[in-house]
Amino acid sequence: MPPETAHRPSPLPTSDVDPFSDEVLAHPDALHQALREAGPVVHLTRYDVYALPRYPQVHAALTDWQRFQSGAGVGLSNFRHEKPWRRPSLLLEADPPLHDAPRRVLRELLAPPALRRLREQWLSTAESLVDEVLSRGPECDAFTALAQAFPLRVFPDAVGLGPDGRENLLPYGNMAFNAFGPANHLVAADAERGPGFSAWVDAQCTREALSEDGFGARIWAAADCGELTYEQAPLVVRSLLTAGVDTTVHGLGAVLYAFATHPEQWHLLRARPELVRVAFDEAVRWQSPVQIFFRTATAEVTIAGARIPEGAKVLMFLGSANRDPGRWDDPDRFDLRRDPSGHVGFGMGIHQCVGQHVARLEAEALLSVLARRVQRIERAGTPQRHLNNTMRAWSSLPVRLHPAG
Ligand code: PQP
């Protein structure tokens, strides 16, 4: 190759598609494929953002926090120019060194050894829930009756929330995840109710609002030890409340949908229940409940030959990377026999999901009970998507559960 062409940046593919349109949010696969085929970096002209649809570049951006910062927001909005809708998160929307102390506190709090005391309790809660659901007859909505109900039974108690107002949790999370996208009709839908959700959530973050034995109290105790400031403590509690419910609800929705549509995989799980954890990871890869996150370029960056200007927003398509045929064999298949590790459904690098052990424990509890008690999960109607700017979500998964034995 002559030297003058060797260094010439390749022309950047562009697209005027709206990845946040109702059609794409409901059925993102075709867009993901088209963007992966268009190139490793695609300029989305409608929002002036640089999209990464393939695995290697998504992985590279996630693991290069110096050049792809989170502190200017991990949604479309650029905090350098736009005022955030709420005080930025100390975890998600922060870079080192500010990010490190809150991260360390949550890492300890949510690490597997710290969760051990919850395991028995969450398994017995899963037993009771599955009992109740089966006692009402074979048909149920697996989304509302299981995927939504289970996290709501275990997580708010684990945080130490009081009994009142818990119905605000899901709508608040839904609003926060919409806020990572553009100000479309999904964001407008919460304009009236939003401030009420926010006020309730903020009020739950005070020390007085939290029980003495939950995650919340332990965040405040970390402030007593000097690991956080007293200013930071309520915002770290807010992170738990923002991140901890909708994500696991839609993660469980993804795995239940996967099994309802893949009866042979349910059969395999029942024969080999030790696969529950692989099953959840594979469902997170296959559905990617959190579909996207953004970064902001801190310098001009050349990635796969494409120039991204300093200050530009970079859209990482986690769901597309998780189905990149360059990385995964037969990526559209949900298959417990593959090794899904390395998927970016929980991110990668310094921001990789700090709550993933909580999510995995919830999934393990619910799935292991279901695998024992339910012989077959049969679809019993058309599943309904719930549209959200960030999450691949359900509102309804009608099924018939065939009890075992
Ligand atoms: C996917 C932190 C994490 C978790 C926050 C916050 C919000 C959302 C998430 C996204 N998140 N899994 O407010 O700190």
Q: pLDDT tens digit string along 154-211?
A: 999 999 999 999 999 999 999 999 999 999 999 999 999 999 999 999 999 999 999 9
Distance (angstroms) between ligand 1 centre and the Cα of 295 equals 14
- Closest residue (by CA) to atom 13 of ligand 1? 239
Distance (angstroms) between ligand 1 centre and the Cα of 170 equals 13
For residue 89, give the ligand 1 atom closest to its CA. Answer: 14
Low-confidence ranges of the chain (pLDDT < 70): 1-10
Distance (angstroms) between ligand 1 centre and the Cα of 365 equals 22
Distance (angstroms) between ligand 1 centre and the Cα of 266 equals 30
Say what the pLDDT of residue 214 is.
Answer: 98
Check the CA dihedral 322-385-290-51 and report its sign: positive
For residue 90, give the ligand 1 atom closest to its CA. Answer: 14
* Percent share of the chain, pLDDT over 70: 98
Could you tell me if 28 and 392 are in contact, meaning their C-beta atoms sit under 8 angstroms apart? Answer: yes
Distance (angstroms) between ligand 1 centre and the Cα of 247 equals 9
What is each CA distance from 240 to 147, 161, 349, 352, 358, in whole angstroms? 18, 11, 19, 15, 11
- Closest residue (by CA) to atom 8 of ligand 1? 243
Distance (angstroms) between ligand 1 centre and the Cα of 240 equals 8
Cα-based angle 396, 402, 403 (whole degrees, multiple of 5): 120
CA distance 363 to 151: 9
Say what the pLDDT of residue 4 is.
Answer: 46
- Closest residue (by CA) to atom 7 of ligand 1? 243
Say what the pLDDT of residue 5 is.
Answer: 47
Say what the pLDDT of residue 162 is.
Answer: 98
Ligand 1 pocket, Cβ-based, cut-off 6 angstroms: 89, 91-92, 176, 239, 242-243, 247, 290, 353
Mutate to test the pocket of ligand 1, among 70, 89, 92, 109 (most ligand atoms within 8 A of CB): 92
For residue 238, give the ligand 1 atom closest to its CA. Answer: 13
Q: Place domain 14-403 in its CATH homologous superfamily.
A: Cytochrome P450 (1.10.630.10)
What is each CA distance from 320 to 29, 168, 235, 290, in whole angstroms? 8, 31, 31, 11
**Distance of alpha carbon 388 from the chain centroid:** 12
- Closest residue (by CA) to atom 14 of ligand 1? 239
Say what the pLDDT of residue 405 is.
Answer: 83
Tens-digit pLDDT profile for residues 231-282:
999 999 999 999 999 999 999 999 999 999 999 999 999 999 999 999 999 9
* Other residues' Cβ atoms within 10 Å of the Cβ of residue 171: 16
Distance (angstroms) between ligand 1 centre and the Cα of 55 equals 22
Is the pTM value of this prediction over 0.95? Answer: yes
CA distance 78 to 74: 8
Distance (angstroms) between ligand 1 centre and the Cα of 205 equals 15
CA distance 400 to 138: 5
